[in-house]
Structure 1
């Protein structure tokens, strides 16, 4: 299943090979500067909004939502599944990003959020030092 990681100054949503086939997209890279908010959602279905783009998404009711969902604000890229012991990491992005939201179901949800927030803090703190 998909994973969120930080690679340098980018947030990377890594997709498994079968997810890439469905979404018709490789790994998604978003600059950390485009990240507005990161949170953990205990209920995976709460990250859903809008409707799926038929050619780039798969939905199995009550079990899996994978791909691009279109809504009023823009498009979200989701890799969600009914959790066994996992939570959903929701990353809301600024308007300049290719998606409005990226959401992934992953077992260590709070650890993922902590890692992303630490990278955001390092990046923003570093930018503040350069401006001074």
Structure 2
């Protein structure tokens, strides 16, 4: 099952081997500087936008959305499951990023949002210190 983590100055969506096989994509890496907003959606389907890219995504109605979804603002990379008690972490990205949004269903959603926000604050403080 996919998971989000902070690795240095990057946000990484780590994919399981079978997810990499289905999406034909390795782990998704995005610079922390490209993160615009991080939020939690209690309903996994609210993170969906657009239509899936057939060659790089899998959709099982009501159960799973995995891979690249294309829409008017660009593309999203999603790893969403219909869990019973797992929220969805939604990370909206700036236009310079390879995706407009990455979203993943994960049980410790609030802990992940806190970890990402802490890393973002640390990076922004470091950038502000360099500029001064």
TM-score by length of 1: 0.99
Superposition deviation, residue 85 in structure 1: 1.4
Partner in structure 1 of residue 58 of structure 2? 58
Shift of 1:12: 0.4
Aligned residue pair count: 132
Deviation at 1:89?
0.2
Partner of 2:131 in structure 1? 131
CA–CA distance in structure 1, aligned partners of residues 45 and 85 of structure 2? 15
Per-residue deviation, 1:83: 1.5
Runs (4+) of structure 1 exceeding 2 A deviation are none
Q: Secondary structure at the match of 2:67?
A: strand
**1:98 and 1:130 mapped to 2: Cα distance?**
26
* TM-score (normalizing by structure 2): 0.99
Unaligned runs of 5+ in 2: none
CA RMSD of aligned residues (A): 0.4
Alignment of 1:28-39 (within 5 A): 28-39=28-39
CA distance in 2, matches of 1:124, 1:18: 35
Which residue is 2:84 aligned to?
A: 84
| Distance (Å, rounded) in 1 between the aligned partners of 2:51 and 2:95 | 19
Deviations 1:12-45 (A, max 9, x none): 0000000001110000111000000000000000
Within 1, Cα distance between the matches of 2:65 and 2:78? 7
Indicate yes or no: 2:45 matched with 1:45.
yes
Q: Which segments of 5 or more consecutive residues in structure 1 lack a partner in the other structure?
A: none
CA distance in 2, matches of 1:100, 1:89: 14
